């Protein structure tokens, strides 16, 4: 007797030992990963086997990338097989540049293109100050967009520009609480609330699903996807070696190779091209704030781990 054929699927939600797998025809079924250590994340392409009214994930296809954070205690995987990561910030509450830098480094480490979006254009002076704080990121080549979600339901120019950059891609939406992430998801996916409810009922996870990562199709042709993730307060980078940091920071990377010592840490050595770029008025330059972030991260990632 031939073994039953494995069916292709896409993981669109996960909670504990359950996941929701979408078939190519759009139908969805609860599946359970096989094996105690088998872990699937949203965005995984899997092969699954039907078993009565549920299924079993038998195989996870090779991932193009995996966006995750890691601290001293645990690893938190957000999603796999991404085209880009959208980091949504706002003029109020004031965003953390350290958090932003950590998310950008994590994306760079996985070869995922980051997209930085600053929301709440209606806040006038506060918005102007926040936009000015992002100037170094624009200068180093990151795409930084303006966004104003307050007002009527009709998309404004800023939202239309963002929609064009999302079209045909799989994008993880990441950002701190209060930045407007839920508002953005609901504007781009009017049925998001209903879909979240369906996922909650399917996985029997109730309110917990709203703090889990969830996949949404933006268009009926299922070409453009948004992945909504929980807000983050801390973003650990313990999976990244301290010596890799400069290559993953776009303002530091062009200066590498210009130091006197090949193993320069860019902290105290003479003839350091990075330190020479500190406070330089013209490009390539490193701002004091960015250098302080690098110092803190290097110290954190160099600490002995037990």
Binding residues for GTP, as ranges, are: 119-122, 175-183
Q: How far apart are CA 17 and CA 31, in angstroms?
A: 9
For 80-119, give one letter per residue: b (16+ CB within 10 A) or e: bbbbbbbbbbbbeeebebebbbbbbbbbbbeebbbbbbbb
Q: How far apart are CA 272 and CA 266, in angstroms?
A: 6
On whether the CB atoms of residues 247 and 256 are closer than 8 A, the answer is: yes
Residue ranges of the annotated binding site for Zn(2+) are 259, 264, 266, 272
The three-state secondary structure class of 78 is strand
Smallest CA-to-CA distance from 87 within 139, 144, 132 is with 144
Residue ranges of the annotated binding site are 119-122, 175-183, 259, 264, 266, 272
């Amino acid at each position: 007797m031939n073994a039953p054929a494995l069916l292709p699927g896409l993981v669109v939600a996960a909670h504990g030992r359950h996941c929701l797998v979408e078939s190519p025809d759009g139908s969805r079924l609860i599946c359970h990963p096989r094996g105690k250590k088998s872990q699937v994340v949203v965005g995984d392409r899997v092969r699954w086997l039907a078993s009565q009214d549920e299924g079993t994930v038998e195989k996870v296809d090779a991932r193009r990338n995996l966006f995750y954070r890691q601290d001293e205690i645990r690893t938190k995987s957000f999603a796999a097989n991404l085209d880009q990561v959208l980091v949504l910030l706002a003029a109020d509450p004031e965003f953390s540049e350290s958090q932003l830098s950590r998310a950008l480094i994590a994306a760079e480490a996985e070869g995922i293109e980051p997209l930085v979006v600053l929301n709440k254009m209606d806040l006038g002076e506060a918005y102007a100050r926040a936009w000015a704080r992002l100037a170094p990121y624009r200068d180093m080549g990151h795409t930084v967009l303006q966004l104003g979600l307050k007002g009527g339901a009709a998309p404004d120019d800023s939202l239309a520009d963002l929609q064009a950059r999302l079209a045909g891609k799989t994008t993880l939406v990441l950002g701190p609480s209060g930045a407007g992430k839920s508002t953005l998801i609901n504007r781009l996916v009017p049925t998001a609330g209903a879909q979240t409810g369906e996922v909650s009922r399917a996985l029997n996870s109730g309110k917990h699903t709203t703090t889990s990562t969830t996949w949404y199709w933006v268009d009926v042709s299922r070409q453009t996807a948004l992945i909504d993730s929980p807000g983050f307060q801390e973003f650990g980078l313990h999976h990244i070696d301290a010596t890799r940091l400069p290559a993953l920071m776009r303002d530091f990377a062009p200066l590498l190779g210009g130091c006197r010592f090949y193993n320069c840490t860019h902290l105290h050595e003479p003839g350091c091209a990075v330190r020479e770029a500190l406070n330089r008025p013209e490009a390539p330059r490193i701002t004091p704030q960015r250098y302080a972030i690098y110092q803190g991260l290097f110290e954190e990632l160099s600490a002995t781990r037990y």
